A and B are shown apart, each in its own frame.
Chain A
Amino acid sequence: MATVAAERLFGKSIKRREDPRFITGRGQYVDDLKIPGMTYAAFVRSPHAHAKIRKIDTAAATRHPGVVAVFTGKDMTGVNSLPCGWDLRKEKKIPGVIQDLAIVPHMPLTSDAARHVGDPVAIVIADSHEAAVDAAEKVQVDWEPLAAVTITEKAAASGAPKLHEGAPGNVAFKWEIGDRAATDAAFKTAGAVTVKKRIVNQRLVANAMEPRACVARYDDATGELTLWVTSQNPHVHRLLMCAFVLGIPEHKVRVIAPDVGGGFGSKIFLYNEEVVCSWASRKLKRPVRWTASRSEAYLTDAHGRDHVTDAEIALARDGKILGLRVKTTANLGAYLSTFAPAVPTFLYGTLLNGVYAIPAIHCEVTGVFSNTTAVDAYRGAGRPEACYVVERIVEAGARAAGMDVADLRKKNFIPKFSGAFQTQVAVVYDSGDYGAAWDRMLQMLDYRKFRAEQEAARKQGRLLGIGFSAYIEACSIAPSKLVGALGAGAGLYESGKVRVHPTGMVTVFTGSHSHGQGHETTFAQIVADKLGIPIEQVDIVHGDTGSVAFGMGTYGSRSASVGGTAILMSLNKVIEKGKKIAAHLLEAAPKDIDFLGGQFQVKGAPGKAVPFGVVSLTAYVPHNYPEGLEPGLEETSFYDPSNFCFPFGAHACIVEVDRDTGNVRILRYLAVDDVGNVINPMIVDGMVHGGIAQGVGQALCEGAVYDGQSGQLVTGSMMDYALPKADMLPMYETDRTVTPTPVNPMGVKGAGETGTIAATPAVVNAVVDALAPLGVDHIEEMPMTAQRVWKIIQGAKAR
């Protein structure tokens, strides 16, 4: 060998290249943008959960010093409803539809009625933010307050206040998946142990560190509109806004999502504010800027979860699962957010098979409207809800059958496979070895030893408990043809362009978007690894429709598996073209050229080689060049996955409950995840750690609470809405097993949501186990605040 192969960067924990700019305060977020002539927007929002708008008087606000304009919904003529990007209707042949999705209008500024606290009714635009905020207080809205409904189980009850003309009884849709008859039969199996539990998955607020923001600038000279917006998917924002709402030409609109400080799903969607600011900028021919306050974020960022479920499991005497029946009511909030109908249906029902060989499953979901903030995807989106139902009802089943919760799980795992496992709920798993991750977790835990310690602790009156979670999730979202057949309004491929500059430097343009994921590191590792060049020679560009061909963005743990694969495909094309150029330079046939360690060399003749940089220079200075070959070295690929990828793992949590206060303290947390091959283990560890924190947050402290009478959001600030804090969490004990996916060439599955999915049921199961000596066999509701746990203890049989 003439050259030593460079150290593999794929699989190496290199430090995140973007971090120096973030931790030294040099990130460029939307709110950092300064443009001459800027105006500032403030929105006038409904203080009522439900109220008719009799009249809006903007005169005093308009006269306020510094105010440029005040607009209401009536001014926005020719503007359409915000679109719902997922259709659930029989005429579209969407599988499982029992009752068609009620596609209700969602106007950027509502002018007939407000349907949740925070619903925007007017925009005030001024020369300063202060003036806009002051003037907004002078907009007089003549409200006619109406009765409101916020509670999931009451939203579709008879007599509930009606939100939309087009949605009788506040039902948004009814949908099912699985085999109802087979499931009914399974539950009638002689000798079966059946358990039915009510399981509530409470409403959450995403709480990205950076609030949503936008700056819209219309250039009157060129007719071009530039929108800087906190988006996880700028191309999707552009498409939805141009084609559906404003009816303006897409090629005249550039959407830029610069540095974005977290999303957790909440920045996927097209929101009222960016649409109104874009419209206003065209109208005023001045830049218009808006940044949400944290209070606005709580009221208007799409919320997550909010399911109420009746789940039933049937077990054979030997502990084998016979069937699972699930009936869920999903609260969608006041309007249909961009992907809202997909979350409690195809992202939820299709994961109810879990990691278990369940012969019969049936799930029915009713989506309901209520006078609350719209609900849409939040980290995990549907999959945490599914995992929560499965892992809680399996636990309840084991307790009812008198079996050890760990033994029962293991007995029911789908055996190791690679290629295809057909579930009872439509999807086909890619590869799995669920027992391996489970066994590794039990080994780290020393399960039998813990049970002995627990026994001793119980004798002293201490409430010690262990909870498990064997989870699966669907990542690498998603095969376009498949999701199209399920109602998606978009394809879910990704684009990746690799531009090799004459000097051998590389710029990658990806349609994926980093808002914390570390694309500038992970994607650069793929490139540097493949091309055998130093990582410093690679730049990653994302988040700008002006420079990236197209993209579907980042959510559903799809960046590495879909976005990364598109980049890899372009790298392969670059290498193939490079081989032709090298072959010409080396006077050999292209088929005889190998690309190794950054060198093109003749097979079997390592001395005959040209470095990558010589080939790239030749591509742009094609004096001595293959006949008929185009100059340049730049390739674009679109990758559309053939299937989802299904990461999985085994988590365990040990808690101690304070008998006096009900406070839950986590003593140990163990996670063994299998996300397929790993590009940067440190970044994946970070995702797992953060995900567990979020999952623990849902289990123990987070929860959006509306006042049942007034419909006000009671938990509307960080002083009231309890996010998890570092001192609530122990040092995590983590490990990985590696089961590569056959779906994509890198064998990567996806890691962004695993912790959030796995942690919640593990923690709740642990509390149930801690309280088991008191006769507690189930806990219906989260978060498990001290008060809630204390009340359960007070009500327990064996207190």
Chain B
Amino acid sequence: MYPAAFDYHAPGTIKEALDLLGKHKDDAKLLAGGHSLIPMMKLRLAQPKHLIDLRKVPGLSGIKQDGNMLAIGAMTTHWEVESSSVVKSKLAVLSEVAALIGDPAVRNRGTVGGSIAHADPAADYPAAMIALGAEMVCEGAKGRRTVKVDDWFKGLMATAVGEDEILVEVRVPVLPASTGAAYMKFPHPASRFAVVGVAAAVTLDGKGACSKASIGVTGAGTKAVRAKGVEAGCTGKKLDAAAIEAAAQKAADGVDVQADLQGSVEYKSHLCRVFAKRALTEAVKRAGG
């Protein structure tokens, strides 16, 4: 299928891109890797009149360490995240998450910023970003601002980015000492998006008890959420199998679980618990517990 007619823009600077966005507003869509937007346009589910391609805007791609943060340019591809030596050494779980997205062709075009800004409820990154405590850097005419991940996902494919702003960078803290992180997902049999995906980061204190747990859940509801009940159930506890099992029971709390062909509310809620348990178990193991 062909998309409806649109004008294509390839700005050479972030300012040009922002100007175009300011000019066309709702009629415009930003194009990153295009792996979500273009299929929607081809099915005519999305019919933007203007497409603003960010590929030629310099400085939006690449990964660098900035203190205790990894700064990942919004246009960095999944493959770059997956294969980056700095990500592998400082934040291996993020490389693992990237490796679970789609297939090699998708990962070579799809971008971190595109995924985070599109906020597909079944995308993999959002759970990890929540568990890892990421920040999103948005740029607008008035400059840059940073949004914490807990304030980012607003609803079904809705985020905190302003309509006149561009997500330019994702900043993710490197794992602190004595911290383990893991992402476990149940893939959709056709699309391989997450039917349910749970990311967990667990920090252990000197006695082997959990001093901090951070859990993100994606797939089951209309947006990725923090599993606060699981976090509370973990904190201060020695996370043996029984404690993990008990904490994981809260994994679907606060998730507006949506029934579809892949699962009833009951089944998907169950999967949240199963994958919370699996992610926690692995995270604790990696934390040295």
Chain A residues with CB under 8 Å of chain B are 129-130, 133-134, 293, 295, 660-661, 663, 700-701, 705, 714-715, 718-723, 785-787, 790-791
Contact A790 B270 (CB under 8 A): yes
Are B43 and A295 in touch, CB under 8 angstroms?
yes
Q: How many A-B residue pairs have CB under 8 A?
A: 43
CB distance from A355 to the nearest CB of B (A): 32
The answer to whether B190 and A661 have CB atoms under 8 Å apart is: no
| Chain A residues in 8 Å Cβ range of B264 | 787
Contact, CB under 8 Å: B261 / A715: yes
Q: Known contacts A129-B2, A134-B5, A295-B1; is A701 also within 8 Å of B274 by CB?
A: no
Once A134-B5, A293-B1, A661-B274 are accepted as A-B contacts, the answer to whether A787 and B262 lie under 8 Å apart by CB is: yes
Q: Does more than half of chain B's interface fall in helix, strand or loop, or is it mixed?
A: loop
B1 nearest in chain A by CB position: A293
Question: B236 contacts the other chain (Cβ, under 8 Å)?
Answer: no
Chain B residues with Cβ below 8 Å from A715 are 261
Neighbour of A130 across the interface among B2, B191, B267, CB < 8 A? B2
Residues of B within 8 A of A663 (CB): 186
Residues of B contacting A723 in the complex (Cβ-Cβ under 8 angstroms):
190
User: A720 CA to B190 CA in the complex, in Å?
Assistant: 6
Give me the 6 closest cross-chain CB pairs, A-B, nearest first.
A722-B189, A722-B190, A719-B191, A293-B1, A701-B189, A660-B274
The complex places the Cα of A790 from the Cα of B268 at a distance, in Å, of 11
A67 CB, min distance to chain B CBs, angstroms:
15
Closest to B264 in A: A787
Shortest distance from the beta carbon of B54 to any chain A beta carbon, whole Å? 25
Report A664 CB to chain B, min CB distance, Å.
11
Q: Which of B186, B189, B261 contacts A714 (CB 8 A)?
A: B261
Q: Is the CB of B190 within 8 A of A133?
A: no
Q: Is the CB of B186 within 8 A of A661?
A: yes
Does A720 contact B191, Cβ atoms closer than 8 Å?
A: yes
Nearest Cβ on chain A to B51's Cβ, whole angstroms: 16
A718 CB to nearest chain B CB (Å): 6
Bound-state CA distance A302–B96 (Å) is 41
Binary interface profile of B, 233-268, with partner A (CB < 8 Å = 1, else 0)? Answer: 000000000000000000000000000011110010
* Separation of A721 and B188 alpha carbons in the complex (Å): 10
Complex Cα distance, B274 from A244, in Å, reads 59
CA gap between A293 and B2 in the complex, in Å: 9
Instruction: Verify if B157 is at the interface (C-beta below 8 Å from A).
Output: no
Interface residue? B271 (CB, 8 A): yes
Complex Cα spacing A44 to B270, Å: 43
State A738–B265 Cα separation when bound (angstroms): 52
Closest partner residue, chain B, to A663 (CB atom): B186
Of chain A, the residue at the smallest CB distance from B262 is: A787
Contact, CB under 8 Å: B1 / A719: no
Specify which of A701, A723, A787 lies most central, judged by the most chain B CB atoms within 10 Å of its CB: A787
Q: Does B4 contact A (CB under 8 A)?
A: yes
Question: How far, in angstroms, from A785 to B190 measured CA to CA in the complex?
Answer: 11
Query: What is the interface size of chain B, counting residues whose CB is below 8 A from a CB of the partner?
Result: 18
- Residues of chain B within 8 A of A660, CB atoms compared: 274
Contact B267 A790 (CB under 8 A): yes
**Shortest distance in angstroms between A767's beta carbon and chain B's nearest beta carbon?**
15
CA distance A719 to B186 in the complex (A): 15
Residue in chain B with minimal CB distance to A130? B2
Contact between chains at A719 and B190 (CB < 8 Å): yes
Min CB distance A704 to B, Å, is 11
State the Cβ distance, B183 to closest chain A Cβ, in Å: 16
CB-CB under 8 A for A721 and B267, given A295-B1, A295-B43: no
Residue pairs across A and B with Cβ atoms less than 8 A apart, 10 shown, are A130-B5, A133-B1, A133-B2, A293-B1, A295-B43, A661-B271, A701-B190, A722-B190, A787-B267, A790-B270
A718 & B43 in contact (Cβ 8 Å cutoff): no
Q: Which residue of A lies closest to B4 (CB)?
A: A134
Q: Are B261 and A720 in contact (CB under 8 A)?
A: yes
Residues of B within 8 A of A790 (CB): 267, 270
Contact A721 B190 (CB under 8 A): yes
- Residues of B participating in the A interface, judged by any CB pair closer than 8 Å: 1-2, 4-5, 43, 186, 188-191, 261-264, 267, 270-271, 274
Query: In the complex the two chains form, what is the Cα distance from A663 to B189 in whole Å?
Result: 10
A659's nearest neighbour on chain B, judged by CB, is B274
Q: Chain A residues near B190 (CB, 8 Å)?
A: 701, 718-723
In the bound complex, how far is the Cα of B190 from the Cα of A705, in angstroms? Answer: 14
Cα–Cα distance between A295 and B263 once the two chains are bound (Å): 23
Write the chain A residue with the least CB distance to B44. Answer: A137
Known: A719-B190, A719-B191. A705 touches B274 (CB 8 A): no
Q: Which residue of A lies closest to B273 (CB)?
A: A660
Give the distance to chain B from A422, nearest Cβ to Cβ, in Å: 44
Assess A791 versus B1: contact at CB under 8 Å? Given A661-B186, A718-B190, A785-B189. no
* A787–B1 touching, CB < 8 Å: no
- Determine if A791 and B191 form an interchain contact, defined as CB atoms under 8 angstroms apart: no
CB closest residue in chain B, given A132:
B2
Smallest CB–CB gap between A666 and chain B, Å? 14
Taking the closest CB of chain A, its distance from the CB of B275, in whole angstroms, is 9
CA gap between A386 and B43 in the complex, in Å: 38
Q: Nearest Cβ distance between residue B257 and chain A, in whole angstroms?
A: 13
Residue of B43, B191, B267 with most chain A CB atoms under a 10 A cut-off: B267
Give A720 to B267 CA distance when docked, in angstroms. Answer: 18
Q: How far is the CA of A701 from the CA of B2 in the complex (A)?
A: 29
> Chain B contacts of A719 at CB under 8 A?
190-191
Q: Could you say which residues of chain B place their CB within 8 Å of the CB of A700? A: 189
> What's the nearest-Cβ distance from chain B to residue A504, in Å?
47
A660 to B272, CA, bound (A): 11
Query: Please, how many angstroms separate the alpha-carbon atoms of A293 and B1 in the complex?
Result: 6
Q: Which residue in chain A gives the minimum CB-CB distance to B278?
A: A660
Q: How far is the CA of A130 from the CA of B44 in the complex (A)?
A: 13
Q: How far is the CA of A663 from the CA of B186 in the complex (A)?
A: 9
How distant is the Cα of A293 from the Cα of B42 in the complex, in angstroms? 10
Q: Is the CB of B274 within 8 A of A785?
A: no
Inter-chain CA distance A786–B275, complex, in Å, is 14
* Closest Cβ–Cβ distance, residue B177 to chain A (whole Å): 32
Compute how far the CA of A293 lies from the CA of B186 in the bound complex, rounded to whole angstroms: 30
**Distance in Å from the Cβ of B40 to the closest Cβ of chain A?**
11
A721: chain B residues within 8 A (beta carbon): 190
State in angstroms the CA–CA spacing of A149 and B191 once bound together: 28
* B157 nearest CB across to chain A (Å): 15
- Quick one: closest A residue to B190, CB to CB? A722
Shortest C-beta distance, A681 to chain B (Å), equals 31
Nearest-Cβ distance from residue A500 to partner chain B, whole angstroms:
47
Complex interface: chain A residues within 8 A of B189 (CB): 700-701, 722, 785
Most chain A CB inside 10 Å of its own CB: which residue of B189, B190, B270:
B189
Closest residue of B by beta carbon distance from A658 = B274
CA distance A790 to B261 in the complex (A): 14
Most buried by A among B261, B262, B270: B261
Looking at the assembled complex, report how far the CB atom of B277 sits from the nearest CB atom of chain A, in whole angstroms: 8
**Which residues of A are found within 8 Å of B267, using beta-carbon distances?**
787, 790-791
Which residues of chain A have C-beta atoms less than 8 A from B274's C-beta? Answer: 660-661
Q: A130-B2, A134-B4 are in contact. Are A787 and B186 (CB under 8 A)?
A: no
- The CA of A531 and the CA of B5, in the complex, are separated in Å by 59
Q: How far is the CB of B261 from chain A (nearest CB, A)?
A: 6
Chain B residues with CB below 8 A from A714, complex form: 261
A714 to B43, CA, bound (A): 15
Give the distance in Å from the alpha carbon of A722 to the alpha carbon of B261 in the complex. 11
Q: How far does the Cβ of A64 sit from chain B's closest Cβ, in whole Å? A: 12
In the complex, what residues of B have CB within 8 A of residue A129's CB?
2
> Are A785 and B5 in touch, CB under 8 angstroms?
no
How far is it, in angstroms, between the C-alpha of A764 and the C-alpha of B263 when the chains are bound? Answer: 20
The docked-state distance in angstroms from the alpha carbon of A720 to that of B274 is 23
- Say which residue of A134, A293, A785, A791 sits within 8 Å of B262 (CB atoms): A785
Residues of B within 8 A of A786 (CB): 186
A661 cross-chain contacts in B, Cβ below 8 A? 186, 271, 274
Across the interface, name the chain B residue whose C-beta is closest to A790.
B267
Pairwise interchain contact A787-B263, C-beta atoms closer than 8 A: yes
CB-CB under 8 A from B2, the residues of chain A are: 129-130, 133
Residues in B whose Cβ lies below 8 Å from that of A701: 189-190
CA distance A718 to B192 in the complex (A): 11
B186 to chain A: which residues have CB within 8 Å? Answer: 661, 663, 786
- Residues on A with C-beta less than 8 A from B271 are 661
